[in-house]
Chain A
Amino acid sequence: MNTPSPEKKRSAPNSASRRRFLVDTARTAGSIVLFSLGVGLYSRQSASTPAQALRPPGALDEDKFLGACVRCGLCVRDCPFDTLDLAKLGDPVTTGTPYFIARDVPCEMCDDIPCVKACPTGALDHSLENIDDARMGLAVLIDEENCLNFQGLRCDVCYRVCPAIDKAITLELESNMRSGKHAVFIPTVHSDHCTGCGKCERACVLEEAAIKILPIQLAKGELGHHYRWGWKEKDKAGSSLVTPDVQHRYNLPQGQRYDYDGKGLIFDENNGSSSETPFDSNPLNTLKRGMEQDQ
C-alpha cells in the first residue's frame, strides 16, 4: 500500500524525504502547541470553583492545591461521614479533586482529622493537627432580610449547632426597632474561631439557608496594607503613637485663665472686676473705637 513509488525514487529522494520530514515535524509541533494551549486554557477555566464548593480541612490555597492534589480520593475514602466527594467530569469543580457542599453534608470536624492523615501528597496540609485551626471557609449571615433572628424571633439554630458555640458564633443583643420595645439576637460570626465546617448552613431552618459558608477570600475584606487601627496601636504601644499635643494656649484677656484639668475658664479673683476688661461697659463705644481716631 505504501510501497515506495517509482517516481519517488527518481526525484532526488534525499530532498523529498527531508522536505517531508520538515513538514511532518512542523505539523506535529503545531498540533502540540494547539494541544497545550487548549489544555492550558481548559484547566484554567475549570479551576474556577463555585462558592458553595468547599475544600477539605487543611487544603492548601487553591492555586497550590491544584498542583499538589493527585486526584486520588484517599481523603474521600477516609472521611467517616461521607462529607467529601471527588469531582466528576461535568461537575463545576476541577475534575478529580475533593470538595464538599455544606448544605448537603457538612464537615463534622473529626478530632483525629482522618481526611488530612489520608492525603499522601500533603495537598491537605499535615501540619494541621487541631481541627479548630481548620479554615475551610467562613460562615457569613448573608441574608439579614430572611434570617428569623434578625426579625426578632428566637430561632438561634445556627448558633446552637456550632461546634465552637460562643466563640465562632455569638448572639449580639440589639434593640428591636420594629416593635420598639424588644431585643433582637443577631447571630454574629467571628473569623478567628469559625472553621467553615458548615454545620450552621446545614442546620439553617429556612428553605434556603440565610447563613452560608463562603470561601475565605470571598467572605473577608482586607484592610489597606498601610492601614492601622489607632486604638489597637495605642494599646500595643501603651501610649499614643503620635507626638503628644503641645498644650494649647488660649489668648485670653487679662485676668482670665484656662484650666486644662477640667475646671475650664477661670476668672482670677483679685483682678476680677469688670472694669479691668479692655472693653467699655457700653458696647457702642467699643464699636466706635476706631472711628474716633479717623475724625
Chain B
Amino acid sequence: MKRLHNPGADAIKTKGWLRANKWLLARRFTQLSILLLFLLGPWFGIWLIKGNLNSSLILNVLPLTDPFVLLQSLISGHIPEATAITGAIIVLVFYMLVGGRVYCSWVCPVNMITDAAHWLRERLGISGASRLSRNTRYWLLGAVLVLALSTGSIAWETVNPVSMVHRGLIFGMGLAWVVIVAVFMFDFLVSRRGWCSHLCPVGAFYSALGTHSLVRVRADARDQCDDCMDCFIVCPEQQVIRPALKGADKGIGPVITSANCTNCGRCIDVCAKDVFHFGNRFNNQSYNNPVHEHTHERNKEHTNHSTGAEVL
C-alpha cells in the first residue's frame, strides 16, 4: 500500500500535535513504565515488582500470573499452587473488563518492536502482500495448547518471543536478541503487521479473553466521518473498524465490538473529526440516520478498498 498522505496530518492541523498523538503517547508511556517497573529491581535494587510477565509479585503481596501460560501448565497435567491461580484470576478479570488485547497495545514489549518495524515499512513504502490469514493466530493458539497436552510441558515457552523478550530484558538476553531481530524483520520485510495481527497466539488468547470486555472504542460521531481513511491506515486490525464506522445503514451499532481491536486508541488520535472515543460496550443501537445518496456511494468505494487492505 503506497502512502497517499501522512495519516494524522489533518488531525494535527485541527487538534494540535499533542491531542493528535495523545493515546499513542499514553501507550508508549505505559509500556515503558511497566518495563521500567520490572527493571527497577535488577537495575537499581528497588524491588517494587519481582518476576516477569509470566508471573510476578508486586510489593511482595500481590501475585499476577499470565493466564495463558498457566492454562498450558494445567493442560500439561500440573495442578498449580493457589498463588499462581489467584494471580491468573486477577489478570483474567482485569483483561476481561478492559479488553483482552489491551495486553497487546499497552503492556506487551513486542508491540514496540513490531510498531517500529511497521513504521519503518511505511516510511520506506515497502508493500507486497503476504497471504497470511488473520485467523492463523487462532490455529496457532490451538496448536500451542495441543503441544502442551502432547509434550506434557509448556513447549511454547521454549520459543515464545513475547516472554523471551521480556525475560531477556530483565534476566539477561542470551541469544534472545535473535528473536527480536526475527520478529522485527518479519514485520518489516515479510508481512505487514505480520506477527501481532496474524500470528501471535498470545495475542489470540488475550483477544479471546476480551470478547465481552466493557471498555471499547466507539464511533459515536460516525456521521462526521469524511472518509479520509486515516483510521484504516493506522489501525493494526483494520477489519474491526468498518462495521462500527460504516455500518449505520446496515443497522450495526457504533461500538467496535471485535475482540481483535487492541484498544490502542490510535484511530481516536488520527481522526480530525473526533469520530471515535473510548467508551463502554452498551447502548450499541444504530440510529438509522437518513443516508445521502452521495455518502452511500462513497461507502461502497471504501468497502472495496478495505477488503483489499484486509488481505495485506
Q: Which residues of A contact B (CB under 8 A)?
A: 1-4, 24, 28-29, 31-32, 35-36, 39-40, 42-44, 46-47, 63-64, 66-74, 76-78, 86-91, 94-96, 118-123, 126
Contacts and interface: CB of A to CB of B under 8 A. Distances in A.
Contact of B158 (A24, A42, A126): A42
B80 A120 contact: yes
A126 B147 contact: no
Given A70-B84, A74-B50, A120 B178 contact: no
A77 B48 CA distance: 12
A95 B125 CA distance: 37
A64 B153 CA distance: 7
B164 A70 contact: no
30 contacts: A1-B1, A3-B304, A24-B131, A36-B147, A39-B158, A40-B147, A42-B155, A42-B159, A43-B147, A43-B159, A44-B151, A47-B153, A67-B78, A69-B154, A71-B167, A73-B50, A73-B171, A74-B55, A74-B56, A76-B171, A77-B50, A86-B167, A86-B171, A87-B174, A88-B173, A89-B178, A90-B175, A120-B65, A121-B70, A122-B84
A70 B71 CA distance: 10
Nearest to A1: B308
Interface centre among A31, A43, A71, A72 (most CB of B within 10 A): A72
Nearest to B63: A120
A64 to B, nearest CB: 7
A131 to B, nearest CB: 19
Given A70-B69, A72-B52, A89 B168 contact: yes
Interface stretch (B16-24, B93-101, B134-142, B257-265): B134-142
Nearest to A94: B158
B77 interface: yes
B163 interface: yes
Contacts of A86: 167, 171-172
B269 interface: no
Contacts of B311: 2
Contacts of A43: 147, 151, 153, 155, 158-159
A120 to B, nearest CB: 4
B77 A88 contact: no
A87 B69 CA distance: 18
Interface in B23-43: 41
Contact of B55 (A44, A63, A121): A121
Given A36-B147, A88-B176, A120-B87, 15 more contacts: A3-B308, A36-B146, A40-B150, A42-B155, A66-B154, A70-B157, A71-B157, A86-B171, A88-B171, A88-B174, A90-B174, A96-B163, A120-B84, A121-B55, A122-B78
Given A1-B1, A39-B155, A40-B155, A70 B175 contact: no
B135 A67 contact: no
Nearest to A45: B158
Given A32-B140, A44-B151, A70-B69, A120 B55 contact: yes
B152 interface: yes
A71 B163 contact: yes
Nearest to A60: B78
Contact of B140 (A35, A46, A64): A35
B158 A46 contact: yes
Interface string B230-262: 000000000000000000000000000000000
Contact of A71 (B54, B172, B179): B54
B215 interface: no
B38 to A, nearest CB: 10
A73 B170 contact: yes
